[in-house]
Amino acid sequence: MQIGINASFARKENTGIGQVTINFLRKLIELKAKSEKRKTNDEFVLYLEEDIDLKLPDNFTKRIFLPFWKRDDLIRKIWWEKFLLPKKVKEDGCDVFISLYQCPTIITSPPQMRRGLRGGVDKFQYLSVPAGHLPSFEGRRLIHIMIVHDIIPKLFPEYLNNSRKKLYWKQTEKAIKKADKIIAISHRTEKDLVQHLQIPPEKISVDYIDVDEIYKKEINDTAGMNVLRKYNLQPGYIYSGGGLEIRKNIEGVIRAYNILYKKNKREKFVSEFPPLVISGKLMPELKPLVTDAEKLVKELNLTQSVKLLDFVEQEDLPAIHKNALMFIYPSKYEGFGLPVLEAMNQGNPVITSKTSSLPEVGGDSVLYCDPEDVHDLAMVIKNVLVNRELRETLSRRAKERAKNFSWEKFVGKVLNIIENWK
């Protein structure tokens, strides 16, 4: 089989979808190398907007192309995903195409090749031409598998604050509905697809993603201290990161911290109140979609106690997690929640929301809060802060639960879906 993959986000490794793309490809290459002993003949075509530094075996090919409009914005994105990409896939004669994220790409086979549902899965058949003797795309089956991370623009219309974003999401909804098979990265996303886009449940499989391998490695003390020096930090801070979008609820973190900071001045439940460290690119010009954390910290007179790191390179995040007292992530909605799993892999005690997909990730290894109630969040933070035994228990449970997630499981399930289509 010839399998095409939209690997466009490999150029953006510091994004969640970028991490999924790179780790999917790495594990796919590894698994396919092992399967060569079984003499599989699959060929893979990676469709890219920019070249990537990834060593590929002989049965992997890169296709790098851009439209006339080179600027990396929504115009280029729509042009590339909706028009150029499907054309290239058809020209290359792919049997299967994998979209590693939800996007406007629609890949269709000739209508006369559809048979409808069988066993809950859309199938195709060759009509007048025997299988294995198909000279061109018109005679081939072509199956589109789309991985859907979330449908946030559908649930939070404030993200669609201009005509280009509205157009992009409208086209993405159409493409999700037309995909032959959907892989949701959580049961929450699966439910949202059924409830809000009316996707038939039998068309959806759930497959949990994992974190980048750097979060699974032990950080030695020397390497950890080098990272802390880089950001002028000392071990023992409260950490919150993962972005400053409004739904990530950094405002709730800062306000809950402020409640505890003032309360500790009166009650002294800890001798030294730890600083709050927040990472995330500061872009106040994007209000109301992002929190102006800098402005809020100044308004609450917390500039001496809250450290804003701005953007942090992914390679530094494991050490920042390892040296923190806890990780706070009271997001109001997530399709999965990679930052929580990243913290868990490093044994950083986690406080997160009891909403959306986050309980699927954290299970019984994290503590939960009501993201809409800063007093509830403050109470949970205090419990972790004053109870060393609780922190140690959460750390141990988090590392153990993190082992349930793996790229091998994720990629293996995608490959099984493809095998079942053959």
Q: What is the pLDDT of residue 39?
A: 54
Residue 37: predicted pLDDT: 53
Res 116 pLDDT > 60:
no
Asked if the model's pLDDT at residue 287 lies above 90, the reply is: no
**According to the model, what pLDDT value does residue 140 have?**
54
Least confident of 106-120, 126-140, 325-339: 126-140
> Looking at residue 421, what is its pLDDT?
77
Angle between helices 16-35 and 407-421 (to 10 degrees): 70
What is the CB-side half-sphere exposure of residue 145 using CA atoms within 13 A?
26
pLDDT mean over 200-208: 97
Q: Which residue has the higher pLDDT, 396 or 15?
A: 396
Which carries the bigger pLDDT value, residue 138 or residue 130? Answer: 138
Q: Whole-angstrom distance between the N-terminal and C-terminal Cα of the chain?
A: 9
What mean pLDDT value characterizes the chain? 91
Q: Strands, DSSP E only, in 189-268?
A: 204-206, 237-240
Hey, what domains does the chain have and what are their CATH numbers? 2-210+406-421 (3.40.50.2000), 213-402 (3.40.50.2000)
How far are the Cα atoms of 119, 242, 308, 324, 342 from residue 16, in angstroms, in the given order?
Answer: 33, 10, 21, 22, 11
User: Is residue 128 within 8 Å of 175, Cβ to Cβ?
Assistant: no
**Out of 97-111, 317-331, 373-387, which region has the weakest mean confidence (pLDDT)?**
97-111
Task: List the single range of 39-43, 302-306, 405-409 with lowest mean pLDDT.
Answer: 39-43
Q: What's the rounded mean pLDDT across residues 44-65?
A: 95
Residue 114 above 80 pLDDT?
A: no
pLDDT at residue 180 greater than cutoff 70 = yes
